[in-house]
């Protein structure tokens, strides 16, 4: 129940919207789309409210406005919203003359739609409400306005749609009336201006808020968005267009929901599964990489423009562009992998990302940069596992180029082992003269695959004259003194792959590794170092492994802590280090290290165990999120987000250029205010991940109280699909030294455990302050690892756990502590002595 104080009634409402006449409703309600001026509200009487039932005793008094009339109301928070609306419409002081079904209740300040889930919280926070048209009426009016030919009407409608299209009741009605088709038509026909920006943002918000309806998007629309990105410069246009393409890339058949057995669910099965878990109906997973890339290839300047925007001064646009690139790399199909990766490498994408590592823009871009770094490791592993075959045209071309650039004009017959001409005297040496062990070039690259051949070809292309000079120099030497150039190139590739743990295909490094992005350039330096050490040490054919060990030592030394080094430092280490210095350092290393761990079989074992350890820790971190935990609320004074306003870190606003009406609107709309508000000064929040891992549910309290299992005690939620980044504010244990200036003492300790869920660099959905370092690490990395294989590790604690588990696993495997199936003999018979000296010790 509720009671109201008598208020002065404003003019009667004579033009209420009618569900029967959409056009009339649209014409009459235009004044309701713009922000309501507070000066227009009529002040109510200050008489106390009428007595209410015991259920409302002690409740807050809330103001309710309709048009120009305002009343004070005591609202029972246990009532359904529809009952509250019905009784408000019956109040004579508001002057409502239409049926209650035509109305909805909204927060007067944030425009957030009031429903049964958030009404109690709003009442307790003392929010002011207003009666507005119901989502059904608003959807009818909106569709009518979107079909208008008046540019002013379209601009105002698309501006308002940005907020409304995040609301589930509005979405259902809007889609049912064909509103999305009208919205897509506006995007296709408008080339510039704020109307296009608002329409794109509305489409982005729909795709982020709902899985329904947008399967009507076709190739023409994708082509239009690609064209917009390639030709537009306005930030408020490029931001949503980039986000739309990324969402389409992530909606391919491989992203479709599956059951526990891995079978892809049908649309009906997925809808039922999502319905039971509280999620929206599942969209058709018919997009993905290929439909988007098909339109990208038709726009030649698109990728170049996208890479160029990585240097944009606008951090959000830079973040969106890098996120789109990461999505394209992670979802590229098998048939297009090499073409696409080669193309973005030709555009100097690694150099652009490396500049971001040096730009020190804070934590907004860190996760995306680390994700690209992980993608670079996966690309290298993919190439390393791709065998070199004579049937692959690209491989044959590379091998032919390497041979032709050697400029060998003579090739003697292949002698027999005893010095006599063999029966195949007419066969001619080719690949052995380039320093390979055999004439099967494809077989030589078994260990390093296409990655090794690609690095070799890159070395030759960088300086063909130097390459030809090296080959001629080795040919003119006595055979036992020749440096096997081909084998050396393969060995250097393997050394670098081991250093960056390419074999595992993962990188959990919490620091930037810029030189991993320039694998071929580092290979070039290390190969030249190999040749120089061979010459300076006077090595012979039997010293190959010794020189290889020196190169491995130099790689570890030069690339140690590479995030603090420049390219000049690394170049100097490889080109100017003296042989004696390198040898002395290696001898000291051998005193403390066991070379046994560098064997290929051990490295392969470590790579496999590393992936298993990563997955184990990932499941543990996500389990912590599913269990839930209490956090302090920084917005209530428990440790404010650095740079946030005094009202709370989550209240930051993102301005949009050229807004009608001159009012600033939060980029997140009602969502940002709902999720990140101050919560009425409550100092604690309990967060828990939903079983479907799509939403983060929470509740607020003045003190920590018992929380039951499930989600019944957690009425509020954050849609994790809106989270663009997890911003770290820790001063210790984070990547690259990016630390907040938390100060000293208690305030510094508090700020060191604060992190934020960002929808954009300046829009926070929620700020969380962990209670200790362990909780901080669990939740930071748990939220990042929700993305699966692409999840980055942001804290040293998690990275160390993975490394410790890997090392323990390696030792257990080597020691075979279980002893299962091992028959221990009482005595070991001595092996039979060799009958000849024609034997060697195998390098296992």
The number of CA neighbours under 13 Å toward the Cβ of 93 is 21
- pLDDT, position 715: 87
- Are 384 and 497 in contact by the 8 Å Cβ rule? The answer is yes
600 contacts: CB under 8 Å, gap ≥ 6: 447
609 contacts: CB under 8 Å, gap ≥ 6: 805, 806, 809, 810, 813
List the structure tokens of 83.
């009952």
Task: Kindly report the number of other CB atoms within 10 A of residue 356's CB atom.
Answer: 21
Label residue 398 left, alpha or beta by phi (over 0 means left) and psi (-120 to 50 means alpha): alpha
135 contacts: CB under 8 Å, gap ≥ 6: 104, 113, 164, 167, 169, 170, 172, 173
- pLDDT, position 745: 43
CA–CA separation, 239 and 386 (whole Å): 36
- pLDDT, position 21: 30
- pLDDT, position 821: 54
Domains of the chain, with CATH numbers?
Answer: 1-133 (3.10.20.90), 383-412+430-598 (no CATH), 611-657+665-803 (2.30.29.30)
- Are 16 and 89 in contact by the 8 Å Cβ rule? The answer is no
Instruction: Name the average pLDDT for the chain.
Output: 77
- pLDDT, position 45: 37
- Are 89 and 43 in contact by the 8 Å Cβ rule? The answer is no
Residues in the chain, pLDDT under 70: 1-59, 254-285, 360-364, 410-428, 506-508, 591-600, 635-681, 729-751, 760-762, 787-791, 815-828, 842-844
Residue pLDDT, tens place only, 540-586: 888 898 899 999 999 999 998 888 888 899 999 999 888 888 888 88
Residue pLDDT, tens place only, 665-688: 333 333 333 334 444 457 899 999
Residue pLDDT, tens place only, 387-427: 999 889 999 999 999 999 999 876 544 444 433 333 343 34
- pLDDT, position 566: 87
- Total-model pTM: 0.67
CA–CA separation, 45 and 6 (whole Å): 6
Whole-Å CA distances, 329 to 241, 372, 396, 422, 547? 18, 9, 25, 51, 37
As a three-state string, the secondary structure of 754-797 is EEEEEEECCEEEEEEECCCHHHHHHHHHHHHHCCHHHCCCCEHH
Taking the alpha carbons at both ends of the chain, their separation in whole angstroms is: 82
The tokens 């018992």 sit on which residue? Answer: 706
List the structure tokens of 517.
């992005």
> CA 761, 762, 767 angle in degrees (round to 5)?
90
- pLDDT, position 201: 93
List the structure tokens of 82.
């529809």
What is the total residue count of the chain?
Answer: 844
Whole-Å CA distances, 487 to 323, 484, 491, 690? 38, 5, 6, 53
């Amino acid at each position: 129940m509720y009671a109201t104080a008598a208020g002065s009634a404003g003019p009667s409402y004579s033009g209420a919207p009618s569900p029967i006449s959409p056009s009339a409703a649209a014409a009459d309600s235009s004044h309701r789309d713009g922000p309501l001026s507070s000066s227009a509200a009529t002040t109510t009487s200050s008489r106390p409210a009428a007595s209410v039932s015991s259920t409302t005793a002690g409740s807050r008094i809330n103001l309710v406005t309709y048009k120009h009339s305002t009343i004070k109301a005591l609202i029972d928070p246990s009532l359904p919203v529809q009952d509250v609306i019905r009784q408000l419409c019956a109040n004579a002081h508001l002057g409502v003359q239409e049926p209650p079904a035509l109305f909805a209740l909204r927060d007067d300040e944030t425009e957030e739609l009031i429903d049964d889930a958030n009404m109690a919280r709003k009442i307790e926070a003392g929010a002011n409400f207003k009666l507005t048209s119901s989502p059904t009426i608003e959807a009818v009016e909106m569709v009518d306005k979107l079909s208008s030919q008046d540019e002013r009407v379209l601009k105002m409608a698309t501006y308002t749609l940005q907020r409304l299209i995040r609301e589930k009741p509005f979405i259902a009605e809007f889609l049912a009336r064909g509103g999305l088709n009208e919205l897509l038509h506006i995007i296709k026909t408008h080339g510039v201006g704020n109307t296009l920006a608002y329409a794109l943002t509305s489409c982005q918000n729909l795709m982020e808020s709902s899985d329904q309806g947008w399967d009507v998007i076709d190739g023409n629309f994708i082509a239009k968005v690609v064209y917009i990105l390639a030709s537009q410069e306005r930030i408020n246009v490029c931001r949503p267009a980039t986000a739309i393409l990324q969402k389409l890339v992530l909606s391919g058949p491989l992203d479709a929901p599956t059951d526990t057995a891995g079978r892809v669910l049908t649309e009906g099965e997925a809808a039922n599964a999502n319905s039971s878990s509280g999620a929206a109906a599942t969209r058709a997973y018919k997009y993905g990489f290929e439909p988007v890339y098909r339109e990208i290839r038709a726009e030649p300047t698109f990728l170049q423009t996208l890479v160029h925007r990585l240097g944009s001064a606008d951090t959000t646009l830079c973040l969106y562009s890098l996120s789109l690139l990461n999505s394209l790399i992670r979802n590229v199909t098998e048939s297009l992998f090499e073409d696409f990766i080669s193309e973005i490498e030709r555009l100097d994408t690694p150099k652009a990302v490396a500049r971001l590592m040096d730009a020190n823009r804070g934590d907004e871009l860190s996760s995306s940069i680390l994700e690209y770094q992980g993608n670079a490791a996966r690309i290298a592993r993919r190439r390393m596992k791709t065998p070199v075959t004579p049937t692959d045209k690209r491989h044959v071309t590379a091998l032919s180029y390497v041979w032709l650039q050697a400029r060998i004009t003579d090739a003697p017959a292949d002698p027999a082992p005893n010095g006599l001409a063999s029966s195949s005297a007419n066969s001619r040496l080719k690949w052995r003269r380039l320093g390979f062990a055999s004439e099967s070039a494809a077989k030589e690259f078994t260990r390093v695959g296409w990655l090794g051949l690609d690095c070799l070809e890159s070395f030759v292309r960088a300086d063909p004259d130097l390459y030809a000079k090296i080959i001629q120099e080795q040919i003119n030497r006595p055979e036992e003194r020749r440096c096997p150039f081909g084998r050396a190139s393969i060995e250097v590739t393997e050394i670098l792959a081991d250093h960056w743990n390419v074999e595992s295909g993962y990188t959990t490094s919490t620091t930037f590794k810029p030189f991993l992005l320039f694998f071929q350039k580092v290979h070039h330096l290390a190969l030249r170092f190999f040749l120089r050490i061979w010459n300076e040490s006077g090595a012979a054919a039997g010293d190959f492994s010794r020189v290889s060990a020196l190169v491995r030592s130099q790689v570890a030394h030069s690339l140690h802590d590479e995030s603090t080094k420049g390219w000049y430092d690394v170049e100097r280490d490889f080109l100017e280090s003296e042989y004696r210095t390198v040898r002395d350092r290696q001898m000291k290393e051998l005193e403390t290290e066991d070379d046994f761990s560098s064997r290929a079989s051990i490295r392969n074992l470590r790579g496999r165990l590393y992936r298993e350890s990563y997955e184990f820790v990932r499941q543990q971190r996500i389990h912590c999120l599913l269990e839930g935990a209490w956090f302090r609320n920084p917005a209530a004074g428990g440790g404010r987000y650095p740079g946030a306003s005094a009202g709370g870190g989550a209240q930051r606003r993102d301005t949009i250029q050229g807004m009608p009406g001159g009012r600033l609107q939060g980029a997140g709309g009602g969502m940002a205010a709902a999720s990140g508000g101050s919560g009425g000064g409550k100092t604690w929040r309990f967060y828990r991940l939903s079983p479907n891992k799509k939403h983060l549910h929470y509740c607020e309290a003045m003190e920590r109280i018992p929380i039951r299992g499930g989600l019944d005690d957690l009425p509020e939620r954050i849609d994790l699909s809106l989270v663009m980044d997890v911003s770290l504010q820790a001063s210790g244990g984070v990547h690259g030294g990016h630390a907040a200036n938390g100060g000293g003492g208690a305030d510094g300790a508090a700020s060191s455990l604060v992190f934020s869920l960002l929808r954009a660099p300046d829009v926070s959905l929620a700020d969380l302050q962990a209670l200790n370092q362990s909780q901080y690490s669990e939740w930071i990395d748990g939220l990042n690892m929700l993305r699966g294989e692409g999840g980055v590790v942001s804290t040293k604690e998690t990275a160390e756990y993975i490394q410790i588990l890997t090392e323990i696993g390696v030792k257990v495997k080597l020691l075979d502590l279980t002893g299962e199936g091992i028959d221990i003999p009482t005595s070991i018979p001595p092996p039979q002595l060799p009958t000849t000296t024609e034997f060697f010790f195998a390098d296992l």
